[in-house]
Amino acid sequence: MAWEFSEFGKHLCGGSGIGELMDDLGHALAAGGDQIRMLGGGQPAHIPVIDELWRQRMGEILATEGQLEHVLGNYEPPAGNLSFRRAVADLFREKFGWDLGTENVAITMGGQTAFFFLFNALAGRFHDDRQRKILLPLVPEYIGYANQSLGPDIFTAVKPRLELIGDHEFKYHVDFDAMQVNEDIAAICVSRPTNPTGNVLTDEEISRLDTLASDLSVPLMIDNAYGAPFPNAIFVDAEPVWNDGIILTLSLSKIGLPGTRTGIVIAREEIVRALGSMTSIVGLANANIGQAIVKPLIESGDILRLSSEVVQPFYRERSLRALGWVKEFFEDRLPYRVHRSEGAFFLWLWFEDLPITSRELYERLKSRGVLVVPGNYFFFGVDDQEWRHRDECLRVSFTMSDEVVREGFRVIADEVSKAYQGAGA
Residue range 64-122, pLDDT digits in tens: 999 999 999 999 999 999 999 999 999 999 999 999 999 999 999 999 999 999 999 99
Strand-pair category, 393-397 with 346-351:
antiparallel
Q: Quick check: 420 and 355 in contact, CB under 8 A? A: yes
Tell whether the model's pLDDT for residue 9 goes beyond 90: no
- Using the predicted structure, report yes or no on whether residue 31 has a pLDDT greater than 60: no
Going by pLDDT thresholds of 50, 70 and 90, the confidence category of residue 403 is: very high
- Count of CB atoms within 10 A of residue 256's CB? 22
Average pLDDT over residues 266-291: 95
pLDDT at 425 over 60: no
Q: Which residues contact 60 (CB under 8 A, 6 or more apart)?
A: none
Q: Calculate the average pLDDT of the chain.
A: 92
Region 18-37 average pLDDT: 62
* CA gap 202, 346 in Å, rounded: 19
pLDDT band at 34 (very low <50, low <70, confident <90, very high): low
Give whole-number Cα distances, 271 to 95, 107, 118, 242, 250, in Å. Answer: 23, 12, 8, 14, 15
Angle between helices 48-63 and 289-300 (to 10 degrees): 110
Amino acid type, 214:
S
3-state class (DSSP) for residue 247: strand
Q: What is the average per-residue pLDDT within 365-380?
A: 93
User: What does the buried/exposed string (b/e) look like for 282-298 if buried means 16 or more CB atoms within 10 Å of the residue's CB?
Assistant: eeebbbbbbbbbbbebb
Domains, the chain: 7-47+306-422 (3.90.1150.10), 76-303 (3.40.640.10)
Q: What is the CA radius of gyration of the chain?
A: 21
pTM of the model: 0.92
Summarised one tens digit per residue, pLDDT across range 325-345 is 999 999 988 999 999 999 999
**pLDDT at position 14:** 65
pLDDT at 19 over 70: no
Per-residue pLDDT averaged across 30-54, rounded? 83
pLDDT at 26 over 80: no
The sheet that has 393-397: what strands, in order across it?
161-165, 169-173, 336-339, 346-351, 393-397, 373-374
- 145-168: per-residue pLDDT in tens? 988 888 778 999 999 999 999 999
